[in-house]
Chain A
Amino acid sequence: MMADEAGTSYRQATAALAGRVLLAVQDSDGVNLADFLGSCRDVTAAMGAVRLVGADIFVPQSLLNRPVDTRDVEIVESSFSVFPPTSQPSTPEQRVMAWRDWATGRLLARLTERDPSTPGLSTAPGTVATVLGDPGDWQRWSIALAQLSSLAQPDVCTPVIQAVEEGGRSLSRGATRAVLRRDHPTAARLARWVALLAGRGTRLDLDPGLLIEHIRLHAGTEPSLLLDLAVARQLLDREPS
């Protein structure tokens, strides 16, 4: 398979899986990863999609208290065998992936009530500042934060949530910048963080509901984006814990 074909295959698989999670959030069906894998011609790409969607696979459990499907847990755990996590992240991209993997590991641990079987998922990959950077550099900081949108779930990664609360203005600016640049995927990812903070009672510089609605009305139908918006809406409507 050529590299661009593989890229297309991974993108399609990721979009398809995000669409499944979105349906699971909207309806009461499960994600059913086994069925997802069976529907994909390229199983490797499908496992890659499982790794990329990561912690968001468990949004129905994390946000809506749906029961855990142990087969989904097993498949997510096996995706770490196919694509092992980076043990020593050194580039910005690796650091982002390491934090996303850690979030997946945290959710697995919570849902299964046991430590993750995959090495490297049980400890935080460095400090939050190493992945997000300086909140004063709000453009870069918010872009990095958007890449960590799968962490924007209740009580998954407390250190990151604390850092985001301290950078509320940078978050608001980054979300506004993304909307004005019509970078709707980034805007939707940041809207999750905006909604998470608002749901926790943090005062923000912008109206989270208006932000989510603006993106919904302008951003099209890409499944990952719609999933981010659905999560954002759920986070916003959540009772403060």
Chain B
Amino acid sequence: MTSPLTHTAHDMTAGAMRWLRANRELGAFPADISGDVGNPDSVYKPLGELALAASLVLREGVAGAAQLDAARELMDFSWGQMRKGDLLYERQLRHPLMTDPLELYGHYVRGGRRHRALEELLEFNASVGSLEEVMPNRRLAVANAHRVVGLDRADDWEALTRATWLGMTPPPWAINWMTAYAVTHTVFHLTDWGASPRDVPADLADYLRTWLPVWIDIWSEVLQWDLVIELLIVGVCLPMAHCVPAEWERVAKAQHADGLMPRDGEPIVGDRLQRFRAHQHTTVVAAVGGTLALSRLLNEST
């Protein structure tokens, strides 16, 4: 409990949840939104990420009362925006091969929400392999969503994992910014966001423990905070956690007093809505990172 990192992680989550709660209405859909959702990256997917953060704060249960209240409120808000699942259902009906309704629904299920008609549709789609072709790490996201929702597709996790960049353990310098995100998401989905660190194959865990410090260092140097926090989360998701206080403190210093976590080192500009749109993702990542780090630290100290 007295580790400096527990305080850093707690404060990161507390600030991020406070900011997400205070600004949640900026992330609402316009009126009469349909299952097409317009640009899915503008409101729809961010609402799903908000549900992800809330679901993990609730699942881990290590946050203070204020953060747990915020998590419940944000889960209600996000689920309400999805019209309690109807919007996801309509989108899946209209686009049977799209995987995002399933992926987002997994976050709501983790947060205790269910939509029966959507699940019936997802189960049918899963049984016939109605699935668009996706990047290997995204395929793991689909597999994890099926697992979380409880739809057994008998996925070959080993084969899916080995098809990713990480699964092939290339030389550690053969990585770029986008591929680093692929690495983080491979681990997030393999472990269902840190719930099952043992699901990372031993050789990949060794590889990550060896090279994470390098990747964290170089992307910290160029102030890529969004990616850095995701890499820090990967460390928390490993069977033997990689949790170095100095690495966390470096990024924690970038968090603003109101809880906003900047995505990078560029100046924070624009009005409230523009700031929200530019930095909400990284603030969600900060909430997730702080929560998972705190949970891991507390569980390993007991």
Residues of A within 8 A of B (CB): 138-139, 169, 172-173, 176-177, 179-181, 205-207, 210-211, 214
A113 CB to closest chain B CB (Å) equals 43
Contacts of B172 in A (CB 8 A): 176, 206
Q: Report the bound CA distance from A14 to B171 in whole Å.
A: 32
Contacts of B211 in A (CB 8 A): 173, 176
Contacts of A206 in B (CB 8 A): 171-172
Contacts of A172 in B (CB 8 A): 210
A-B contact count (CB 8 A): 32
Decide: A180 and B214 in contact? CB cutoff 8 A: yes
23 CB < 8 A contacts A-B: A138-B213, A139-B217, A172-B210, A173-B210, A173-B211, A173-B214, A176-B172, A176-B173, A176-B211, A176-B214, A177-B217, A177-B218, A179-B173, A180-B214, A181-B218, A205-B210, A206-B171, A206-B172, A210-B171, A211-B171, A211-B173, A214-B171, A214-B173
A215's nearest neighbour on chain B, judged by CB, is B173
Known: A206-B171, A206-B172, A211-B171. A180 touches B210 (CB 8 A): no
Decide: A177 and B214 in contact? CB cutoff 8 A: yes
- Give the interface size bracket for B toward A: 10 to 19
B211's nearest neighbour on chain A, judged by CB, is A176
Q: Which of B171, B173, B210 is within 8 Å of A169, CB to CB?
A: B210
Give me 14 other A-B pairs in contact (C-beta within 8 A), A172-B210, A173-B211, A207-B171 excluded.
A138-B213, A169-B210, A173-B213, A173-B214, A176-B173, A176-B211, A176-B214, A177-B217, A180-B173, A180-B214, A181-B218, A205-B210, A210-B171, A214-B173
Scoring B residues 147 to 181 as 1 if CB is less than 8 Å from chain A, else 0, what string do you get? 00000000000000000000000011101000000
B221's nearest neighbour on chain A, judged by CB, is A181
- Which residues B65-83 have CB closer than 8 A to chain A? none
Q: Report the bound CA distance from A139 to B218 in whole Å.
A: 11
A198 CB to closest chain B CB (Å) equals 14
A218's nearest neighbour on chain B, judged by CB, is B173
B246's nearest neighbour on chain A, judged by CB, is A137
A2 CB to closest chain B CB (Å) equals 34
Contacts of A181 in B (CB 8 A): 218, 221
Question: A-side binding surface: helix, strand, loop or mixed?
Answer: helix
Q: Report the bound CA distance from A19 to B218 in whole Å.
A: 32
Residues of B within 8 A of A (CB): 171-173, 175, 210-211, 213-215, 217-218, 221
A214's nearest neighbour on chain B, judged by CB, is B173
Q: Report the bound CA distance from A172 to B171 in whole Å.
A: 11
B180 CB to closest chain A CB (Å) equals 10
B36 CB to closest chain A CB (Å) equals 41
A39 CB to closest chain B CB (Å) equals 38
Q: Report the bound CA distance from A119 to B202 in whole Å.
A: 54
Contacts of B173 in A (CB 8 A): 176, 179-180, 211, 214
Q: Report the bound CA distance from A181 to B172 in whole Å.
A: 12
Q: Report the bound CA distance from A139 to B215 in whole Å.
A: 12
B176's nearest neighbour on chain A, judged by CB, is A180
B172 CB to closest chain A CB (Å) equals 5
B218's nearest neighbour on chain A, judged by CB, is A180
Contacts of A207 in B (CB 8 A): 171
A139 CB to closest chain B CB (Å) equals 6
Q: Report the bound CA distance from A181 to B221 in whole Å.
A: 10
A172's nearest neighbour on chain B, judged by CB, is B210
Contacts of A205 in B (CB 8 A): 210
Contacts of A180 in B (CB 8 A): 173, 175, 214-215, 218
Q: Report the bound CA distance from A211 to B170 in whole Å.
A: 12
Q: Report the bound CA distance from A206 to B169 in whole Å.
A: 11
A227 CB to closest chain B CB (Å) equals 22
B202 CB to closest chain A CB (Å) equals 15
A137 CB to closest chain B CB (Å) equals 10
A107 CB to closest chain B CB (Å) equals 32
A173's nearest neighbour on chain B, judged by CB, is B214
B63 CB to closest chain A CB (Å) equals 32
A169 CB to closest chain B CB (Å) equals 7
A177's nearest neighbour on chain B, judged by CB, is B214
A175's nearest neighbour on chain B, judged by CB, is B173
B175's nearest neighbour on chain A, judged by CB, is A180
Contacts of A176 in B (CB 8 A): 172-173, 211, 214
Q: Report the bound CA distance from A211 to B171 in whole Å.
A: 8
A129 CB to closest chain B CB (Å) equals 21
A207's nearest neighbour on chain B, judged by CB, is B171
B268 CB to closest chain A CB (Å) equals 26
Most buried by A among B214, B217, B221: B214
Most buried by A among B175, B210, B215: B210
Contacts of A138 in B (CB 8 A): 213
* Cβ-closest 8 pairs across A and B: A179-B173, A176-B172, A176-B214, A180-B218, A173-B214, A177-B214, A205-B210, A176-B173
Q: Report the bound CA distance from A180 to B217 in whole Å.
A: 10
